[in-house]
Structure 1
Amino acid sequence: MVSSLLFFTRFLAFLGVLLSLNLYAQPGTANNPIRVEAESGQLSGVEVASAVAGFSGTGYVTGFDNPTDALNLSFTAPAGLYELTIGYRSPFGEKGIDFQINTEKAGGMLRPSTTFARFDGGKFLLMGGPVSLTIFRGWGYFDIDYILLTPTTVKRPVPPATARLTDPNASPVTVGLYQFLLSQYGNKVISGQQDDVEYVLEKTGKEPAIGAFDLIDYSPTRVQNGARPLRTSEACLAWARKGDGRGIISLMWHWNAPTDLINQPPDKLWWRGFYTEATTFDLAATLADPAGPRYALLLRDIDAIAEQLKKFQAANVPVLWRPLHEASGGWFWWGAKGADPFRQLWQLLYNRLTNFHNLHNLIWVYTGTDAFNTDWYPGDAYVDVVGLDIYAPADATLSTNWEAALAQFSGKKLVALSESGHLPRPDAIRGFATWWSWFAVWTGADYIKKQPDDLLKAVFTDADVLTRDELPDWRTPTQPLLTGLEPTWSVSVAGNPVADSLVNLDIQGAEGQLLHLTVFDSRGRLLTEKIVTPRTPTIRYALPLGSDEPGLYLIRIISSTTASTLKIIKS
C-alpha cells in the first residue's frame, strides 16, 4: 500500500502537470500517438510468433501461460494524458489482463477474439521522459500485437438520456432518490460504506451518505441452520431514518443456495452456501423444470427476501437494490452455469418482486466485475444503474475500469463503484474524470479498516465527496414524476379476464419496432417468450399463455428503450 504522504506528494505533482497541460482544453503536448510493436520488447517466458495472420509489424508476442511470464516495453513520451490501446488476440475466450505503466498498475478483461482486436486500457498521466509498460500473464493464453498511446483529454460524464426508472409504478420517494442521483452525476461522488458506517463516523466525524448492508442471513437455508442477522432490516431502517431521515440504503443479497448445500469442512460449510464450491445446486436445471421442487424453493427464497424489502417499502424508504452480484466471475452459484441462466434468474427476480409482490421502492443495480461483458447484462428494461466491483491496488486510478463502463453504458445508465477494496482518491476522480455515482468500500479489517486514518479523513471531508450531513431532502421529486420507461406504443388485452390459452393483444404505434413478449404465472415461472415486429401501425397478436390453468398471469412487453407490464386473469 502506498503511504498517504507519498500518495499526496505524487498527486501534488500530478495536479501541477494537469494545470500546465490544460487538459480540459487541449490533447496534451504530444502531437502524435506513440505506437510500440510488442515484438520489440523485452520477453520473459514469452516468445515472438507470426503464425496467425492480421498482426502489425513483424509479429506478435504469445505464450503467456506461466505466472512469471511478462512483456516489457520501454520508450520515451512527452508529458501528457494518454489513452492506452492494446492490440491483442484472445482465441480461448474472455481473459483477464494485468499491466503496469511506470508505477501505476491496472487491468481489465479482453473480449474473446480469434482475430487481432483492440482493448481500451484507460487513461494514464505521463510526466515526460522514459516510460516502462509491462504486460503480465493475468489469466494468460492471449497474444499481444502492439500498444498505442494517444494524447487525450478528460470530460465529465453526462446523465443518461432516458432519465426514468424501469419500474413504471416506482413510488415518488424512489423517483426522488433516482433524480437526486442523476442531479449529482458528473459533479459530485456520493460516499457509501459497506456495513462499517459507524467506523467511518468514528474516524472522520463524517457519516457515509449511503449505508450498504446485506440480507445474507435472511436466506432460508441460513435461517434453517440458526443464522441470525448481524444487522436486521429494522436496524438498517433505523439508520436510514435517524435524524433528518435522509440516509440512503443500499442492499445486497449473498443468496445462500436454496438447497443442496455440501456442508463439509473446511471450506464447504452451510454458511458458505452462496459460493459455487459449497453447493451442488444447479440453476440451469432448476430453471428448466419450473414445476419441480427446486424451482419452488427458488421462489420460496425470493418470497422470503420480499418480506424484508416490504418493510422498507412500508416505511417509505427506497433501496438501491443490487442482488446477484459478480455473476460473471462464476464464484457464486447464480453465475456458475453461465450467462443465460443468470439472465433468466435476474428477470425472474425482477418480475417476482416488482409485479407479483408489488415492490415499487427498488432501484435495480446490476453489479459485475467488468463492464463490457454484455453476455451477462440482464437488459436495459431490468437495470437502472450499473455498478462495478473492483479490488485494485491502493494507488490505482481505476481509469481503465471507468472508461470500459462509459464505452458500454454511456448515455444509458449511471455507473457506480458498488464495491472496492480501497477508497477512491478524490484527486484521481477529478484528474481522470472518474465521476462514479457513488462508492462503497468493502467491510472489515482487510478493507475499510485498513485504510490510513488521514486518507479516510481526506476522502470524507473532500468538497467533491457528499456525506450524509450534506444530503439535500431528496425524498420529494424535483421534476414531474418520470415513473418508468413510458412507451411510445401501447398494448392492451382484447378481453380481460380471458377464457382461452391464447391472449389477443392489440398493439398500436410499434410499427418496425422489435417487441420482446414474456409471460409469467403467479409463481414467477417463465411460460412463454416471443419476439414480434409489427409491420403496420395497428396489429392484433395472439400470444399463447403457455398454460391452461386459471389464475393471474403477467405479460411483460419490452422494446429497445421502453417496457410495460400487463396483468391478466384466466378464468
Structure 2
Amino acid sequence: MTKRLLCALLAAVLCAAAYSQTPESAHAAKLDAKRASLLRYLKSVADSDRYLSGQRWSKPDWDEIKAQTGKLPAIMCVEYCAYEGNQKLNGGKAIQWREINPVANKHWNAGGLVRITCHFPNPYMEDGGGLRTRLGDGGEKLFSAESSPEKTRWLGMLAEVANGVKDLNKHGVVPIFGPMHEMNGGWFWWGSTLPTAAQRKRWDQIYSALEKNGCRAVWLNALSPQIPIDEKNGPDFGKMDVIGCDVYGFKSANNLGAVKDKAEIAERRGKIFTLSEFGAYSAHNPQDDREFGTYDLTELIRQMDAHCPRAYGAVFWAGPWGIHRSKNAKEFMNDKKIITLPDATYEGK
C-alpha cells in the first residue's frame, strides 16, 4: 500500500469518526473530561498543605460569614431533599433541585465547588418524613423484583435526583455527590440497622440511577468516625472517589485523631480523603454545650495538619455549627492555607 493511499485512508477514518460523534456523545466526553479535571484538582489540594473551606448553604449564614470575614467558602454544600427528609411533605415534592440548582450554578461560576447531600425521606412513609425510622423488613421491598408503593417512591426519588444532577451537568457543573452519609451509624433509615448487603444494594441503586441518566459526579462516601465498616461486603469502593469523615463535638474538634481509621481506609483503597462534615459542638442541641461558641477555628488547621494532612478540606454544617459561630472566623478564612471563593479554579473546570 502506498504512503499516499495510507494517508488518504487515515484521513477518511478520522473524518468519519468526527462526523459520527453526536452532540450527546460530545457533551458526555466533555463532562468526562471535566470530572477528571475536578478529581485531579481535589487530589492536588490533598497533596498540598492547603485546605478547601466549605459550608452548608444557608443565605443568612453565608451573609454572616461574609460580614465577619470578608470571604465566602469555596465549597457550597446544598441539600436536594425537602425538609431534610424529616417532615411530612403534605403533598409536596420530596426532591427540590429546581429550587437550589440556580444557587449552586452561580457559586460554581463564581469560582467555587458544589456538593450535594440527600437526606432521603423514608420511602416506607407515604407522605415523607421518617428520616430516623427503621425499615422493618431490612429494606427488602426497595430492591425486590416485585413492585410496591415503597419501591415506586424510592425509585421516583432517585430518578428526580438524577434529573437534578443532569441539570447541573447541563450548566457545566460537576458536583461532589454524597448519598447515604454516615451509613455506618444507626440513626438514619439507611444506616447500620440495615444489613450491610442491603446498604450495598442501595448504593448500587443510587449509582445506577445517575449513570443511567448520563450524570457525571464525584462520588463521596461520608462516614462517621470510630465506627467500623464492613469493607468486604459494604458499598463497592469502585463506585466512589472520595472517602469522608463527619466529625462533631468539641472534644473531637480539638483532637482529630478520631478520623484516623477512615483516613487510613481512604489511603489503602486509593481514594481521596476529606472532612465531609465538621461541627465543633454536639450533633444535637449544640447551643446547650458549655463550650458553645468558644472553639478556636485556627485550631482546626493545626488539627488537620497533625491528623489528616492529606484531606482536601472541611465542610462545616449550617447554623450553630457554622464558621460564623466559632472564634477567630476571620483569621481562619484569611489564613494562607485556607482556599476560599473564588479560588477553587483549575485547568479544565
Whose helix proportion is higher, 1 or 2? 2
Per the alignment, residue 238 of structure 1 pairs with 106
Distance apart, 1:431 and its partner CA = 4.0
- Equivalences for 1:444-523 in 2 at 5 Å? 444-452=319-327, 455-476=328-349
Change (3 A) 1:451 1:240: same
Contact 1:283–1:333 (CA under 8 A) maintained in structure 2:
no
Equivalent residue for 1:199, pick from 38, 56, 64: 64
Per the alignment, residue 243 of structure 2 pairs with 386
Measure the CA separation in 2 of the matches of 1:281 and 1:306: 27
- Equivalences for 1:269-418 in 2 at 5 Å? 272-276=129-133, 282-287=137-142, 289-293=144-148, 294-335=150-191, 336-354=193-211, 356-359=212-215, 361-370=216-225, 372-375=228-231, 377-393=234-250, 396-411=253-268, 412-418=270-276
Measure the CA separation in 1 of the matches of 2:81 and 2:263: 31
Q: Which structure has the greater CA radius of gyration?
A: 1
Contact 2:247–2:278 (CA under 8 A) maintained in structure 1:
yes
Contact 1:320–1:365 (CA under 8 A) maintained in structure 2:
yes
SS in 1 for 2:311: coil
Contact 1:399–1:434 (CA under 8 A) maintained in structure 2:
no
Alignment pair present for 1:171 and 2:32: yes
Alignment pair present for 1:190 and 2:52: yes
Distance apart, 1:227 and its partner CA = 6.3
Contact 1:250–1:322 (CA under 8 A) maintained in structure 2:
yes
Contact 1:256–1:274 (CA under 8 A) maintained in structure 2:
yes
Equivalent residue for 1:419, pick from 277, 287, 297: 277
SS in 1 for 2:161: helix
* One-letter amino acid of the structure 1 residue matched with residue 68 of structure 2: K
* One-letter amino acid of the structure 1 residue matched with residue 144 of structure 2: D
SS in 1 for 2:312: coil
Measure the CA separation in 2 of the matches of 1:219 and 1:426: 30
Measure the CA separation in 1 of the matches of 2:66 and 2:234: 35
Change (3 A) 1:326 1:468: same
Change (3 A) 1:282 1:474: farther
Point out which structure has higher relative CO (alpha carbons under 8 A, 6+ apart).
2
Per the alignment, residue 114 of structure 2 pairs with 249
SS in 2 for 1:325: coil
Measure the CA separation in 2 of the matches of 1:445 and 1:341: 34
- Equivalences for 1:3-82 in 2 at 5 Å? none
Measure the CA separation in 2 of the matches of 1:344 and 1:395: 32
* One-letter amino acid of the structure 1 residue matched with residue 57 of structure 2: D
Change (3 A) 1:174 1:328: same
* Aligned-residue identity in percent: 20
Structure 1 range deviating more: 178-187 or 290-299: 290-299
* One-letter amino acid of the structure 1 residue matched with residue 74 of structure 2: A
Contact 2:111–2:343 (CA under 8 A) maintained in structure 1:
no
Measure the CA separation in 1 of the matches of 2:342 and 2:170: 25
* One-letter amino acid of the structure 2 residue matched with residue 373 of structure 1: I
CA-based RMSD: 2.9
Distance apart, 1:311 and its partner CA = 1.1
Change (3 A) 1:205 1:447: closer
Gaps of 5+ in 2: 1-27, 281-296
Measure the CA separation in 1 of the matches of 2:272 and 2:314: 12
Whose strand proportion is higher, 1 or 2? 1
Measure the CA separation in 2 of the matches of 1:302 and 1:255: 9
Contact 1:426–1:462 (CA under 8 A) maintained in structure 2:
no
How does the TM-score come out when normalised to structure 1?
A: 0.47
Per the alignment, residue 490 of structure 1 pairs with none
SS in 1 for 2:155: helix
Equivalent pairs counted in the alignment come to: 293
Measure the CA separation in 1 of the matches of 2:199 and 2:46: 29
How does the TM-score come out when normalised to structure 2?
A: 0.75
Change (3 A) 1:327 1:288: same
Distance apart, 1:276 and its partner CA = 2.0
Change (3 A) 1:444 1:346: same
Measure the CA separation in 2 of the matches of 1:240 and 1:169: 17
Change (3 A) 1:396 1:308: closer
